[in-house]
Structure 1
Amino acid sequence: MAGSTTAERGERQQGSSGPPPVRRLRRRHLRVIVILGLVFVFLGIPTLWLFYGSDWLRAEQVSVSGTRVLTPDQVKAAAEVPLGKPLISVDTDAIETRLRRKLPRIDAVDVVRSWPHGIDLKVVERTPVLIVQKGGKFVEVDDEGVRFATVSEAPKGVPALELTRVRSSSAAASLRRFGESRLVREAVGVARAVPAAVARDTRTVKVRSYDDISLELRDGRTVAWGSSEKGAAKARTLTALMKASPDARHFDVSVPTAPASSAS
C-alpha cells in the first residue's frame, strides 16, 4: 500500500496546528463571562448602592389624591408608608392592602413610586347609592351592595333602603331563600336602574321580597318596580308612563310590557 503523499501529511499537520473548535468556543465563552463580571463589578455594585445604600433615592414624601370624604391625613396614617426607607424597597402591595383593610370607604387605590423621593396614593372612594338607618346613624351601601361606612348624617340625595318585615309566607320564604344580603343587592340593582330624574326624587326603596320592590318618591308618589330584572326596560317604561300620566300617584312597571298608573 502506498504511503500518504507529502501534500496529505501537510494538510494533517496544518489541521492539528491549533486547538479543536470546541476548545476555542469555551475560551471565548470564558472571556465573555470575565468581561461581564468586570462590568457588573464596576457598574452593578454602584447601582445597587445608589438604590439601596445612598440617601438620594429614599421615601421622604407621601401625596394623596382622589379623596372626597376621607382626608389626606387619614389616608396617610392608614397607609403607614415607611419613610426613610429606600424607595425601591417600599412594598406597594402591602400599602394597598392596609388601606383597603383600614378604610373600607376606599374602593380602589393605586400606590405609585414617584422618583426620587415620593409615594403617590391615588384613591377612589365608594359612592353610596342607598343608606340603611341603624339607630340614630346611617349605613352607606355602594353599587355592589357593600356596606362600607356608618355616618351620623344621611348623605343628601341618597334614598333610604327599607327591608319591610312582613309576616306573609311568601315574604318569609323569599328571605329564607335569598338572604338579606341578596335582597340588599337586588335593591341596589333597582336604585341603579331607576331613571336619573326619578332617582333624584326617590326617598325610599322598599323591599318586601325578591320580586316585590317599590319606590316612594319625595312628593308621595309610588312606583311598583318588582324585581331588579329588566331594569333598563322598566326605566324606559316608567319615563314614558310618567309623561303620559303626569297627575298619576301610583305607577306599576313590574311587568314593563303591561304598565299601569292610577290616581290613588
Structure 2
Amino acid sequence: MAGPTTAQRGGSKSKNSKSAARSGPSRPGGRAPRGGGSPRLRLPRRRLLAWTACAVLLGGAAGWALYGSSWLRATHVDVSGVRVLTADEVREAAAVPLGDPLVSVDTDAIAGRLRERLPRIGSVTVERSWPRGIDLKVVERQPRAIVEKSGKYIEIDGSGVRFATVDHAPQGVPRLLVEPEDSSSLRRFGPPRLEREGVRVAEALPPALRLDARAIRVRSYDSITLELTGGRTVVWGSGERGDAKARTLTALLKAARGADHFDVSAPSAPAASGS
C-alpha cells in the first residue's frame, strides 16, 4: 500500500501545530498551578503580613514601656543655676507630677508655673532626663538698680522689671531716684517711663563702673546724673547712646583722676572739672 502523500503529511503537521498552540507551552511536571495564582506573588504578601504583625507588637511594647512601665516614671527633679533662690523653692514652685510617666510630663506647663510663681526667674529650661528625671536649668534675673520703699528695696533688672523685694540693699547695685524737677516732664513721660530711662543708664554701665555707682538720679528724660564713690558726679543727659557714654566716661576717669565732676551728655565732647 502506498504511503501518505505530501499534502496529507503537511495537513497532519498543521493540525499538530494548531493543537500545540492551543495547549500552550508544557510545564515542568506537567501540572498547572492551582488557583491560578503565582508563588512569586504569594511570598512577599506573607512577608508583609509578618512585618506588620511585628510592627504592631513592637508598637504595643513601646507604648507599654513609656506609659505602663514603672521604669520610665518621673521620680526626681534636678535643679541647676540658682544663686539667690534655693533648689527646694524651685522644686516646690515647679510642682512636677512625680510618679507620672516621664513621656507625659508637660514641660511647658512646668516652665510656665516657675515664671509665674518665682518672678526672680528670668528664663528656665525644662528637660526630661531619661529614664526617671526632670532637669530644671534656671537663669535668675540680675538687679541693675534698686528702689527704696518703706524701708525695703525693690530689685529691678536691666529690662525694667521689678522682680523682688528684699530687706537689705544688694551690694554693687545703684539706687534709683526718680525726682522730676517740673510737672511738664511728668505729664509727658510719667514716673514709670523715667524709671525705665534710669534703668537704661544702669544697664549701659560696664561692671567696673556699676560697682562705683551709688545712685542714679533722674530729674527728667534728658537730665540724668550718676553719683559715684568718692563724691564724684557724672552728667549723663538722656539714656540715649549709653554705650558711647560709658566708653567715654571710662576713658575720662583714667585721664582726669583728680576730677570730681564729669560730663558725658555729649560723648564726642566730654568734660571734667574739680580738684
Check whether TM > 0.5.
yes
Counterpart for residue 124 of structure 1: 139
Residue 200 of structure 2, aligned match among 170, 175, 189 = 189
Answer whether contact 2:181 2:220 (CA < 8 A) is retained: no
User: AA paired with 1:226?
Assistant: G
- AA in 2 matched with 1:236: R
Task: Find the counterpart in structure 2 of residue 236 from structure 1.
Answer: 247
Is 2:272 aligned against 1:255? no
Cα 1:33/1:232, change in 2 over 3 Å: same
Q: CA deviation at 1:218?
A: 2.5
| Counterpart AA for 2:150 | G
* Alpha carbons of structure 1 residues 228 and 32: separation in structure 2 relative to 1, 3 Å: farther
2:130 aligned to 115, 128, 131, which one?
A: 115
Report the counterpart of residue 64 of structure 1 in structure 2: 79
Taking structure 1 as reference, are residues 248 and 28 closer, same or farther at Cα in structure 2, changes over 3 Å only?
Answer: farther
How far 1:31 sits from its partner (Å)?
A: 5.6
1:125-154 residue CA offsets vs partner (Å, 9 max, x unmatched): 111011111111111111111111111111
SS of corresponding position for 1:37: helix
CA contact (8 A) 1:174 1:210 kept: no
Please point out which of 206, 219, 234 is paired with 1:223: 234
Relative to structure 1, is the Cα distance of residues 85 and 235 closer, same or farther in structure 2, using a 3 angstrom cutoff?
Answer: same
Q: Supply the distance in 2 between the matched residues of 1:174 and 1:200 (Cα, whole angstroms).
A: 32
Corresponding position: 1:150 with 2:161: no
Letter in 2 for 1:46: A
Structure 2 vs 1, CA of residues 195 and 72 (structure 1 numbering), >3 Å: closer, same or farther? closer
Q: Which amino acid aligns with 2:85?
A: L
Aligned: 1:172 with 2:186:
yes
CA distance in 2, matches of 1:132, 1:60: 42
- The answer on 1:211 being equivalent to 2:222 is yes
Q: How far apart in 2 are the matches of 1:119 and 1:206?
A: 45
Q: Give the partner amino acid of 1:193.
A: A
Is the contact between residue 78 and residue 135 of structure 2 (CA under 8 Å) also seen in structure 1?
yes
Match for 1:103: what amino acid?
L
Percent identity between the aligned chains?
57
Structure 2: which 5+ runs fail to align? 1-16, 26-32
Residue identity opposite 1:71 in structure 2: T
Which of the residues 49, 64, 67 maps onto 1:52?
A: 67
CA RMSD of aligned residues (A): 2.7
Q: In structure 1, what is the Cα distance between the partners aligned to 2:243 and 2:173?
A: 20
Q: 1:115 to 1:138 in 2, by over 3 A?
A: same
Encode CA deviations 1:183-238: one digit per residue, 9 max, x unaligned: 22322221122243322111001111221111011221110101122222212221
SS of match in other structure, 2:216: strand
Distance 1:172 1:221 in 2: 28
Larger radius of gyration: 2
Q: Distance in 2 between matches of 1:38 and 1:194?
A: 67
| Structure 2: distance between partners of 1:139 and 1:36 | 65
Cα separation, partners in 2 of 1:148 and 1:29, compared to 1, 3 Å: farther
Is the alpha carbon distance of 1:135 and 1:28 closer, same or farther for their aligned partners in structure 2, counting shifts above 3 Å? farther
Q: Measure how far apart 1:262 and its partner are.
A: 2.2
Counterpart CA distance in 2 for 1:139 and 1:215 is 19
Counterpart of 2:237, as a letter, is G
